[in-house]
Structure 1
Amino acid sequence: MTSILSRYVIRAILGNTALVMLVLLALSGLYLFITQQDDIGVGAFTVANAFMYVGLYLPKYAFDLLPIAALIGALLALGSLARTLELIVVRAAGVSTMRIAMWTAGAGIILMIFTAIVGEVIAPPMEQYGRQMKTFAKFNDYSMAGNKSAWAKDGDMMISVRQQAAGNRYGGVYVFKFDGQRRLRSVGHANNASIDENNLWQLENYVESRIDDERVVTSKEPETRLQTRLSPEFLGLAVLDADSLTGRGLFSYIQHLRANGLDSRTYEVAFWARIARTVAVAIIVVLAVPFAFGPMRATGTGARTVVGIMIGVVFFLMAKMLESGGEVFNMPPIMIAWLPTVLLTLVTFFAISRVR
């Protein structure tokens, strides 16, 4: 009997979560398609490319939205069972609240595994391909290569970018200039660089070595400018974004940064946050149990949906605030990443313990 009841509860939670996820993905896809309207017609980027780009980005949205969808789905499923008195009958049959919470956690574990698969196997390669497809359609007269850093060719120049600090700021920039016979004429290095809307580079602490016929002349400037056709959007393809990497990719890149004496805190936070957010999916589902027996037992679907969205948004914002503020205050990356999930776990168990 218990096995039948547990499967019934799990199916109800998974079914409602799938329905909520479809609605959220439809809204996210519509919003993303609207934001592409300004890019349609640029280069070879067409409406068909925009639809394809949206489809390739949906798995990333699914990974980000799964915690909220899981909570709303659990609230709807358990709320429906409570409103039809099915949960009351189960309790009257001698099933404890903790046992129902364990059944709910079973659905959460399934969703957690699904989240891990989406975040590790499906979303990153599809997102990367979508970015490449869009950028190469818009900027089809450039060439690029690279893995751990960006290598971009622009006419007679090769530019290497080792690290991206923000949307249009970079660190460890090398500029290689060649003549018409493809002979290296100069090598320049800047500690930091930024690009404006006209693709004009502002290079800081720029040191350049010019190769003459018989000697090498070195010059140093606190600041210099360099005009290219390379945009921040194009360079962003090769410079690794922490949110677009898999867990294995993050771990590998952290090792690469450490081996080269570079700051890896941002990627360490992203690595642990990815694990913590995945685990949080299983915990946040259980948070719906107190609502099923508490004050929201007789409320409608709309109220439960609003509560689920509010809790999910608060959890998401708290995680993002800690990721940003924790680095400022030099908190350990593992603490920054896991603190929201730990707080969610404590709140969940406290709420369940209060249910009678």
Structure 2
Amino acid sequence: MHIDRYLVSVLLVGAAPVLLLLLGLFGFVTLAEELEDVGTGRFEDADAVRVALLSLPRIAIDLLPVATLLGGVMALGGLAAEQELTAMRAAGMSVWRLAAPMVMGAGLLASAVLLAQQFAVPVLEDDASELRARKLSETVQGGGAAEFWTRDGNHFIRVGEVRFHSVPADIEIYDLGAGGTIASVLRAESADVLGPGRWLLHEVTESRIDGTEVSQRAESERSWQSFLSPDQMASLVSPIETLTLAELYHYVNYLEATALSSHQYRFRLWQVLSMPIGLAAMCLLGLPFVMGSVRAQSAGARILFGAAVGIGFYLVEQTASQFTLLYELPAVPMALLPDSVLLGASLVMLSRVDSA
């Protein structure tokens, strides 16, 4: 219906300027943080600006629920001030009927978010992470597109590829002896990064060179004490934000198949998948703000109230995420809980407005 398209457009047009305003503010904060590293290694002002710009799409997605609520409150408040919502109610449209276009708008936003999380944001985050790590550290990219070389004294390591942005593969570790000759070569098919300085190598072959004699030993697994610095590790292993939804899903299965902890990645996957619930809740919350008892308040008061709810939800969600990762709480329920509670609260508020 025309009324549905009209209300959806009002919601989206109202959210756009709020999102741009918040994005400018948080983008400036991100740039300020990046500028603190200028002068370290080869990291320059232009690099800081580029990293901040590449981070904007991820920041926009994080801010979208809050922007949707504030934009919806302002846009619907404008309709209420012009008596358009009153006319719709007088024409027989219930609160739930008015809520339908809000859900449609949330669906459009959620579709855009999921597409961006699959195809755009991980690529940009990977570029930002690679640029930052390369400029700050002394690692060398050479040979293939993903080939990685670095050294520590008489120890060299080459990583041919990185699977899922997190699993080093095609690994060669060289130890030099007296006179700079190669004393041993350790080759591994892949490795799991268990923690700072701890790698678990898989399908290992060690070759020891003593003059003209070469001895070899094969192992299915071997623990290796890594000499890579945090900056070098950042250049090799990308942040979790660089994984697409498909890569997250397959990496979770890989970790579980190898009996490693998948908690952090499973939680991230369900956080992204639960975003449509949060967007629907934020879109629906705009209606009670302009149709319930709050409608008697000024536009400024409604916006302030909406901002308090939106920012409060954002802080609660971030705090819940930290607690979930710190104490390893159940990943799926904790990822769904904040959005589900907010959606339930919005439905209760709509029900009260409808019965008033």
Instruction: Give the equivalent residue in structure 1 for 2:49.
Output: 51
CA displacement, residues 40-96 of structure 1 (integer Å, 9 cap, x when unaligned): 233433322222221111001011111111111111111111122221122122211
The answer as to 2:2 corresponding to 1:26 is no
Counterpart secondary structure, 2:274: helix
Task: Tell me, yes or no, if the aligned pair for 2:107 and 2:276 is still in contact at 8 Å.
Answer: no
1:134-149 alignment to 2 at 5 Å? 134-143=132-141
Counterpart of 1:354 in 2: which secondary structure? helix
Query: Could you say which residue in structure 1 is the equivalent of 2:262?
Result: 264
Given candidates 95, 104, 107, the residue that maps to 1:106 is 104
Deviates more, 1:93-102 or 1:242-251: 242-251
Alpha-carbon spacing, 1:50–1:310, altered in 2? closer, same or farther (3 Å): same
In 2, Cα distance between equivalents of 1:39 and 1:72: 34
TM-score (norm 1): 0.78
1:125 alignment partner in structure 2: 123
SS in 2 for 1:236: helix
Write the distance in 1 (CA, Å) between the matches of 2:299 and 2:138: 49
Change (3 A) 1:63 1:351: same
On the 8 A contact 2:255/2:262 being kept in 1, the answer is: yes
Contact 1:283 1:344 in 2 (8 A): yes
User: Which 5+ residue runs of structure 1 have no aligned equivalent?
Assistant: 164-173, 195-200, 218-223
Shift of 1:340: 1.7
8 Å Cα contact 1:145/1:152 also seen in 2:
no
Further displaced range: 62-71 or 290-299: 290-299
CA drift at 1:210:
9.4
Matched with 2:246 is: 248
Q: Give the stretch that moved more between structures: 312-321 or 65-74.
A: 312-321
- Checking the alignment, whether the CA contact within 8 Å between 2:184 and 2:207 is kept in structure 1 is no
Question: Is 1:158 aligned to 2:173, yes or no?
Answer: no
Letter of the structure 1 residue corresponding to residue 44 of structure 2: T
Deviation digits for residues 211-265 of structure 1 (CA, Å, limit 9, x no counterpart): 4627799xxxxxx998x6x542331243243333221111011122122221112
1:195-274 matches, within 5 Å, as 211=208, 213=210, 230-274=228-272
1:74–1:285 Cα contact (<8 Å) kept: yes
The answer to whether the 8 Å contact 1:159/1:175 transfers is yes
> Residues 311 and 231 from structure 1, CA distance in 2 versus in 1: closer, same or farther, beyond 3 angstroms?
farther
RMSD: 3.9
Match of 2:311 in 1: 313
Q: For residue 72 of structure 2, what is the aligned residue in structure 1?
A: 74
TM-score normalised according to structure 2 size: 0.78
Shift of 1:135: 2.2
Unaligned runs of 5+ in 2: 164-170, 201-205, 218-223
| Cα distance change, pair 297–237 in 1 and its aligned pair in 2 (3 A) | farther
Asked if the contact 2:134/2:235 (under 8 Å) is kept, the reply is: no
The Cα shift of 1:141 comes to 4.8
Alpha-carbon shift at residue 294 of structure 1 (Å):
1.7
- State whether structure 2 residue 347 is matched by structure 1 residue 337: no
C-alpha contact (below 8 Å) 1:78/1:292 kept by paired residues? yes
Distance change in 2, residues 1:12/1:58 (3 Å): same
Kept in 1: contact 2:129–2:234 (CA 8 A): no
Find the counterpart in structure 2 of residue 14 from structure 1: 12
Q: Name the CA shift for 1:193/1:277 in 2 (closer, same or farther; >3 Å).
A: closer
Query: Structure 1 residues 331, 85: CA separation in 2 closer, same or farther (over 3 Å shift)?
Result: same
Query: Equivalent residue for 1:220?
Result: none
**1-structure distance, mates of 2:344, 2:193:** 45
Amino acid at match of 2:175: F
Q: Given that residues 29 and 58 in structure 1 are in contact (C-alpha distance below 8 angstroms), is that contact kept between their aligned partners in structure 2? A: yes
Q: Which amino acid aligns with 2:332?
A: I
Match of 1:296 among 283, 294, 297: 294
For the 8 Å contact 2:141–2:147, the answer to whether it is kept is no
Distance between the aligned counterparts of 1:175 and 1:96, measured in 2? 68
Give me the whole-angstrom Cα distance separating, in 2, the residues matched to 1:30 and 1:58.
10
CA distance in 1, matches of 2:130, 2:238: 13
Q: 1:178 aligns with which of 175, 179, 182?
A: 175
